[in-house]
Structure 1
Amino acid sequence: MPRQVDHDQRRRQIAEAVWRLATRGGLEDVTLRQVAAEAEVSARLLQYYFGTRDQLLLGALKILNDDAEQQARERLAMLGDTPGMHAIVRGVLLELLPLDEERRNRHLVYAAYFVRFLTDPALAEVAHDAPLALENLVAGLIAQGQETGQVPRNIDAAAEAAFLVAGAEGMQSSVLLRQRSAEDAIAMIDHQLARVFTTTNGE
């Protein structure tokens, strides 16, 4: 009997080839032929799964985002059954830093996509809403912290969330460039969270 093909696995194989090429030299000059060679598939098979070069870049980005969300959920689950809001917000923010090989490679790929985000409407649409969605998530967690007495009522949850997310995202490049250590970046996040979470109730 003919061997069945796992189409999701084949798409991932091709997406991972895009990511490797992105981390080695960016995406501006990457061709379908290069991706096919890196993935060890034919150019025809690559086009079957993704279509054009732009569709390939978009598809690889969506798979990367799905991976990032899954990895984040797994790490947050490791906080235990009843983590406090402080621990959850901290965990969310740490996902924005290249703290291990998996996150470092992911953020390198995002960096390679950056120019494309500025010039490609389809990719820009994928990237556009992500920071706001993350800010809303963090703001909601801070608001829950207010309800449970972990955060003072006078804290502006939305403003703090915007600041925390922007700060964590802003440290990505400095950690990638080794201008700042991962430990220093974590310490800065912890310093800012200490302003917001003034009690350990629920930790």
Structure 2
Amino acid sequence: MPQRVDHDQRRREIAGAVWRIVADRGLDSVRMREVAAEAGVSLRLVQYYFETKHNLLVLALRYLREDTERRARERIEGQAGQSARGVLRGVLTGLLPLDIESEFALRVRLAYFSRSYREPGVFPDRDIALEDLVTHLLEQGEPMPGIRPQHEADLLVSGITGLGFDILRGRRRTTAVLATLDYHLDRIFGP
């Protein structure tokens, strides 16, 4: 009896190979043949699933975002009973390069971010699921009067990502970034 193949899982495994190449050597180093070798599959299989290098890069980024969002939701579930501020802090610190998995994901996102200047189609125009999640968390809490959750979510996600890039580059210390995050959360929720 032929073995059933989970096509989505196979695509995700190939996307993981893209991430490893990108994290180690940058986005310009991605070649379909190298991705196939890294994933342990044939070049033909990579071409079958993705057709073009552009499709491969875009879908690999989408899977990375889905993985980041899944990890954020797992953090939320793991912090049941905490305040909205505490849950939000946990989600946002999960975006910082504080462990191997988060550092890896941030290095890949940084490579995509850099490439987006030359090739705008690599980043979708509107992919704000993480900002929507943060907005929801802000709305669940009791923010200070005058706080606009969507605007704060945009600032928090973009800000923590930028500060994470600074940690990667050695420009900022983790303790200083966490102090900045706490400052903004105190401004939103009160001390």
2 CA distance for matches of 1:12 and 1:156? Answer: 36
CA contact (8 A) 1:118 1:124 kept: no
Question: What is residue 174 of structure 1 aligned with on the other side?
Answer: 166
Q: Is contact 1:97–1:168 with CA below 8 Å preserved after alignment? A: yes
Alpha-carbon distance between aligned partners in 2 of 1:59 and 1:160, rounded to the nearest angstrom: 28
Q: Aligned partners of 1:53, 1:133: CA distance in 2, in Å?
A: 25
Gaps of 5+ in 2: none
CA distance in structure 2 between the partners assigned to 1:162 and 1:51 by the alignment: 34
Deviation at 1:121, TM superposition (A): 4.1
1:129 paired to 2:126:
yes
Any idea what the Cα deviations from partners look like across 1:123-172, whole Å, max 9, x if unmatched?
232xx334x554454344334433xxxx3224344444343333212201
Structure 1 segments unaligned to the other structure (5+ residues): none
3-state SS of paired residue (2:28): coil
SS in 1 for 2:41: coil
1:1-203 equivalences under 5 Å are 1-80=1-80, 82-125=81-124, 128-130=125-127, 134-146=130-142, 151-198=143-190
1:96 Cα deviation after fit: 2.5
Question: C-alpha distance in 1, partners of 2:43/2:171?
Answer: 40
In 1: Cα distance, 2:129 partner to 2:84 partner: 18
* Percent identity of equivalent pairs: 43
Does the 8 Å contact 1:18/1:35 carry over to 2?
A: yes
Stretch deviating more after TM superposition (39-48 or 175-184): 175-184
Residues 83, 189 of structure 1: alpha-carbon distance in 2 compared, 3 angstrom cutoff: same
Give the partner amino acid of 2:82. P
Question: Measured at CA, do residues 197 and 134 of structure 1 come closer, stay the same or move farther in structure 2, by a change above 3 Å?
Answer: same
Q: Give me the whole-angstrom Cα distance separating, in 2, the residues matched to 1:158 and 1:68.
A: 19
* Shift in CA distance, 141/6, structure 1 to aligned 2, threshold 3 Å: closer
C-alpha root-mean-square deviation of aligned residues, in Å? 2.2
SS in structure 2 opposite 1:118? Answer: coil
Give TM-score scaled by structure 2 length.
0.87
Question: Of the two, which has the highest radius of gyration?
Answer: 1
Contact 1:18 1:57 in 2 (8 A): yes
After superposition, give the CA deviation of every residue in 1:174-200 in whole Å (9 maximum; x if it has no partner).
11123323333222211221222226x
Structure 2: how far apart are the matches of 1:179 and 1:94? 17
Deviates more, 1:67-76 or 1:2-11: 2-11
Q: Secondary structure at the residue paired with 1:168?
A: helix
CA distance in 1, matches of 2:66, 2:148: 30
Ranked by relative contact order (alpha carbons within 8 Å, sequence separation 6 or more), the top structure is 1
Q: Deviation at 1:103?
A: 0.9
| Pairwise CA distance, 1:66 | 1.3
What is the distance in 1 between the residues matched to 2:97 and 2:129? 20
> Which segment is superposed worse, 35-44 or 114-123?
114-123
